């Protein structure tokens, strides 16, 4: 399937997707669906049913002259709606967009200083480094690296006023292996940074849907390196969390984690610290950084569809019409929508606002690594 943001040649972004069984069939289908123009960069989001190595090789063979970046997903947001098992390419025309990209090899704490140097070197490839108004950054990270917070902060510091959004690769809630691809390479435990320059108007945004409650959970025992909480309030973590939301530990799972998020206060705002899964010993693994002493607040979700529509409509108003949104949507938002039987409403909102992207294990927004959030770049008319 092919989806253009506007009639050909007016905006310069093209979206194509495929559900072909083999990766070679899928890439051939995508290549034939794209118009015969020069592209600055291709961004590919693909189901983990397609092997990363084969996907990278097929992309290199089909687009030998075009740089590309991509990652495995926990679901794809396509012109057809939200789905799993597909592969899609977001293609940016060279006449309208300029891309520079690179791999950050090490996403753990030892690689943070290198990440800052890499970001500064990439930024130096732009002639006018001081003008951030026509530039933005995209960051794809390994969703199982457990070090996104420090990496995102280091890259954002080096980029200065350039706004950055992105997402962490997923693997359909298996939590076994996530992967990035860049120009024929497979990247594990790393990140891909893309800097983009364009005269097309754009807006970076984030949206979330929850209100804090008075219920507090203090982490009293944890393995911070592995993002595992063993105790809340000096009680077993799963038991204390279940008590706080009115369930028993046996009933905990992805849907309850999505419907009863935990948040942390940073300044005057609250940010999710979402639970990934419950472990056999009653501990809880998280998508975001945690540590002993951290005070988490049980949050009450607000209407997901209303909050999403309000944010995207405001962005549309600011841009005087949105042509396409490249979005990074937490997998827990999709699960929460399904649990509340509003999945079709969310799909309709995404299709109306032309949102494409993927479901993530975490979202990036400037200096923050987030959970249970939709972040993105919205593009206006040429």
Give the three-class secondary structure for 25. helix
Averaged pLDDT for residues 352-364: 96
Residues 271 and 341 in one domain: no
Residues 180 and 231 in one domain: no
Give the three-class secondary structure for 96. coil
Residues 197 and 262 in one domain: no
Averaged pLDDT for residues 327-337: 93
Give the three-class secondary structure for 239. helix
The reported pLDDT for the residue numbered 340 is: 87
Going by the DSSP 8-state scheme, the letter that residue 72 receives in this structure is: E
pLDDT tens for each residue of 110-124: 556 788 899 999 999
The reported pLDDT for the residue numbered 1 is: 47
Q: Which helix (H) or strand (E) holds 156?
A: helix 148-159
Residues 203 and 219 in one domain: no
Residues 11 and 122 in one domain: yes
Going by the DSSP 8-state scheme, the letter that residue 51 receives in this structure is: -
Chain-centre distance for alpha carbon 140: 7
Q: Is the dihedral of CA 287, 79, 69, 23 positive or negative?
A: positive
pLDDT tens for each residue of 262-285: 999 887 788 888 899 999 999 999
What is the extent of the structural domain holding 37? 2-207+304-380
Residues 81 and 47 in one domain: yes
Averaged pLDDT for residues 45-73: 97
Under a CB-based contact definition with an 8 Å cutoff, are residues 222 and 207 in contact? no
Under a CB-based contact definition with an 8 Å cutoff, are residues 370 and 363 in contact? yes
Q: Which residues contact 80 (CB under 8 A, 6 or more apart)?
A: 1, 17
Number of domains in the chain: 2
Under a CB-based contact definition with an 8 Å cutoff, are residues 322 and 131 in contact? no
pTM comes to 0.89
Residues 57 and 171 in one domain: yes
Give the three-class secondary structure for 32. helix
Among 254, 286, 301, which residue terminates a domain?
301
């Amino acid at each position: 399937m092919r989806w253009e943001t506007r009639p050909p040649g007016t905006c310069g972004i093209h979206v194509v997707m495929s559900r072909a069984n083999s990766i070679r069939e899928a890439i051939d289908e995508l290549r034939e669906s794209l118009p015969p123009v020069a592209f600055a960069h291709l961004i590919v989001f693909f189901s983990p049913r397609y092997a990363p190595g084969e996907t990278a090789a097929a992309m290199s063979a089909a687009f030998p002259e075009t740089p590309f970046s991509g990652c495995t997903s926990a679901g794809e947001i396509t012109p057809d709606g939200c789905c799993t098992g597909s592969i899609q390419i977001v293609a940016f025309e060279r006449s309208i967009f300029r891309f520079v990209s690179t791999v950050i090899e090490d996403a753990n704490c030892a690689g943070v200083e290198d990440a800052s140097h890499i970001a500064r070197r990439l930024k130096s490839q732009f002639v006018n480094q001081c003008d951030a108004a026509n530039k933005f950054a995209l960051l794809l990270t390994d969703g199982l690296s457990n070090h996104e917070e420090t990496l995102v902060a280091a890259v954002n510091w080096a980029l200065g006023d350039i706004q950055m959004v992105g997402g962490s690769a997923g693997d359909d809630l298996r939590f076994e292996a996530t992967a990035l691809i860049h120009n024929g390479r497979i990247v594990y435990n790393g990140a891909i940074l893309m800097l983009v320059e364009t005269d097309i108007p754009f807006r970076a945004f984030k949206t979330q849907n929850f209100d804090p409650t008075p219920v507090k959970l203090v982490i009293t025992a944890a393995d911070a390196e592995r993002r595992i909480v063993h105790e809340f309030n000096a009680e077993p973590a799963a038991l204390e969390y279940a008590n706080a939301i009115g369930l028993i530990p046996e009933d905990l799972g992805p849907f309850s984690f999505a419907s009863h998020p935990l948040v942390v206060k940073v300044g005057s705002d609250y940010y999710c610290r979402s639970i990934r899964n419950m472990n056999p010993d009653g501990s809880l693994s998280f998508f975001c950084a945690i540590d002993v002493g951290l005070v988490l607040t049980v949050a009450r979700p607000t209407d997901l569809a209303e909050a999403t529509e309000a944010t995207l409509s405001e962005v549309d108003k600011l841009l005087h019409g949105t042509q396409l949104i490249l979005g990074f949507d937490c997998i827990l938002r999709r699960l929460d929508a399904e649990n509340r039987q509003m999945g079709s409403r969310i799909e309709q909102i995404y299709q109306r606002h032309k949102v494409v992207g993927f479901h993530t294990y975490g979202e990036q927004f400037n200096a923050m690594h987030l959970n249970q959030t939709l972040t993105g770049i919205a593009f206006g008319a040429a």
